[in-house]
Amino acid sequence: MEAKELKKTGFSRTRDARRAPRPRRTQEERSAQTRHQLVEAAIHVLQKWGYANLTISKVADRAGLTNGAMQHHFATREELVIAVLDALYPVLEIPFEDIASRKWDVKERVSAFVDLLWQIYSRPEYLVIWDIAFGTRGDAPLKAKLQAYQRDISGRVRKQLAASFTDVGLTTQDAEQLFAVIISCLRGFALQAVFAVDRRRSDLDYVKQIAGDCLAKYSTRKK
């Protein structure tokens, strides 16, 4: 068999692969990959069947793993839910510091800030959070944990917001008020997707305008 034919059949690639085997993944890497599979599977289950049907068997089956593997990585449903929220709320990955370090004017920074947050809230998976919020109403311990989680996330974003506009002189109360306005609008836009309402770019621009006007007011007060 000629070399050209070997390449067509894949034998040549196999021989090359044997000469340079891929390095084995570490136990930590394999564990992280398995956790990722389970979290993605949980999000799928939540999207398709809702929080009431978030069971170990459904998630494990979706991930192609055993119930034992599922319980090894997430001993309780609470742990899995928190991991899902971490995946859907990647706040720590938002480059807020990059906004603060640029020599942008207020409107440019507001635009970047809103766009970064909208990247989270506009994801179809975000609606899973609403399902979790409503689904845990009768579970007081888990509900309390989720509320604490939400307060922590909101607090971090407010601090980043204030740090991004230090020249405007935002007080803690100002940052909380501005954050509440922006987040309420974005959450509302995201929820409207349930009713097949597509947000227009002009709607997002209007949120930026409102936020920009607020910041301009704070800046004037500072002077």
- The closest alpha carbon to 101, from 163, 12, 51, 46, belongs to 163
- φ/ψ of 132, rounded to 5, equals -65, -45
Q: Is the pLDDT of residue 12 over 70?
A: no
Q: Is the pLDDT of residue 42 over 90?
A: yes
pLDDT attached to residue 9: 42
Same fold, 3-85 and 89-222: yes
Mean pLDDT, range 147-173, rounded to an integer = 85
Mean pLDDT, range 5-31, rounded to an integer = 58
- The closest alpha carbon to 131, from 197, 190, 184, belongs to 190
pLDDT tens-digit map of 72-94:
999 888 999 999 998 888 765 77
Domain ranges of the chain: 3-85, 89-222
Q: Which CATH number fits domain 3-85: 1.10.10.60, 3.10.620.30, 3.20.20.210, 1.10.357.10?
A: 1.10.357.10
Where does 89-222 sit in CATH, by number?
Answer: 1.10.357
Percent of the chain with pLDDT over 70: 86
pLDDT attached to residue 89: 81
